[in-house]
Structure 1
């Protein structure tokens, strides 16, 4: 899944995801393909889920992030 698809599918949510395909470019990590694991309304819930998963599988490239749309 691409980030644009995640934004449309999970608007205004905190998303815990794994980078399926990624690369580094000028010291920035670029995520090319995403597998959504879970999503939350609350950032602390997402943080706890991310930490739990990272502890279980430390070699997985896991992240949590959000994209909140501005109200018009």
Structure 2
């Protein structure tokens, strides 16, 4: 399901989804297509659902025109033991 379709069906609502298709722009992953899981009624429930998310699942508000996920580069730990 395209993100635009999710926004039309669930305006101004938190939703839980998995990424199906995305692309990278600079240091962000831009989501094009999602596997919709469920709508979430309010911010409090959204936080609870966010904490229960498995790898690849996200909670996002449909007020945003597109889903952007900031990519973080893992550098690692240096030092002596």
Q: Taking structure 1 as the reference length, what is the TM-score of the superposition?
A: 0.73
The runs of 5 or more residues in structure 1 that have no matched partner are 55-59
Displacement of 1:53: 2.6
The runs of 5 or more residues in structure 2 that have no matched partner are 64-81
Q: Which residue is equivalent to 1:66?
A: 61
Task: After superposition, give the CA deviation of every residue in 1:14-66 in whole Å (9 maximum; x if it has no partner).
Answer: 11111111222101111121011111121121221122132xxxxx3222111
Task: Provide the rounded CA distance (Å) in 2 between the counterparts of 1:36 and 1:50.
Answer: 14
Q: Taking structure 2 as the reference length, what is the TM-score of the superposition?
A: 0.66
Give the number of the structure whose alpha-carbon radius of gyration is greater.
Answer: 2
- Structure 1 residue matching 2:18: 3-state secondary structure: strand
Instruction: Compute the RMSD of aligned alpha carbons.
Output: 1.5
Q: Which residue is equivalent to 1:35?
A: 35
Query: Hey, which bits of structure 1, 4+ residues long, moved more than 6 A?
Result: none
Report which of the two has the higher share of helix.
1
